[in-house]
A = this chain, B = another copy of it.
Amino acid sequence: MTSTVNDAAAADTHTRARLLAVSVELFNRHSYEGTSLQMIADELGFTKGAIYHHFRTREDLLHAIVGPLLEQLEDVIDTAEAGRTAHARADHMLTGYAAHLVANRGVAAVLSLDPGVLKVLRANPEWNRLIGRQIALLSGADPGPRGRVKASLVMAGLAAAVDPRVANIDAGELCEVLIEGGRRALGLRSSRGRSATPPQRS
């Protein structure tokens, strides 16, 4: 069942989890910069002062949301980097990323596309490196500017495509479509048999 970020936390930490969930939802609707603490507090039914007890600043709140997601993503990256060939590494990265996004539908768009969020992410060297590694992996089959462009295309494209507003589609099928689209865009031959992709032009 669609494990969200807060799966574990949700059970006991009554309010903190709700706080994060509501925040994500509002960030999605109004963008990070466009969401005030007041809006979050109103949605939760209590006051800004209460929020302050859990997160001293709005950016702390954002950190608490994206932090776990990026840790999750780091696992995927770590695994992918252990692949033997550049092709395998890229494919692992892609499938892992797609699964990661689908598992966190509704959070992903905020994480990856909101300029307000990206500004915060770029300010954190560790997170910045993470994204760099991801791009490197995805563009591994084709380094250089072209590879970077494709990698960015896929990363942003997938992130945007999982937005629930895009289409009413089952998680499993969604993941399939994303992987298929990603592989083609990156020029990765679908590992077994079916070659939807024509031989690479240099």
Give chain A's interface residues, CB within 8 Å of chain B: 27-34, 109-110, 113-116, 119, 145-146, 148-150, 152-161, 163, 166-169, 173-174, 177-178, 181-182, 184-187, 190, 196-198
Partner of A153, one of B181, B190, B198: B181
List the 4 shortest-distance A-B pairs measured between CB atoms, nearest first.
A157-B157, A156-B160, A31-B115, A33-B33
Of A119, A149, A178, most buried by chain B (CB within 10 Å of CB) is A149
Taking a contact as CB atoms under 8 Å apart, the answer to whether B119 and A29 are in contact is: yes
Docked pose: A133 CA to B149 CA in angstroms: 26
Provide the residues of chain B in CB contact with A109, threshold 8 Å: 115
User: Contacts of A187 on B, CB cut-off 8 Å?
Assistant: 184, 196
Copies in the complex: 4
Which B residues are CB-close (under 8 A) to A155?
157, 160
Residue contact A178 to B149, C-beta cutoff 8 Å: yes
Partner of A30 from B119, B156, B159, B184 at Cβ < 8 Å: B119
Which B residues touch A154, using CB under 8 A? Answer: 157, 181
Instruction: Give every chain B residue within 8 A of A116 (Cβ-Cβ).
Output: 30-31, 33-34
Check A169/B146 contact, CB under 8 A, given A113-B113, A119-B30. yes
**Are B145 and A157 in contact (CB-based, < 8 A)?**
no
Further 6 A-B residue pairs, CB within 8 A, beyond A149-B161, A156-B156, A156-B157? A30-B116, A34-B115, A149-B167, A153-B181, A155-B157, A181-B185
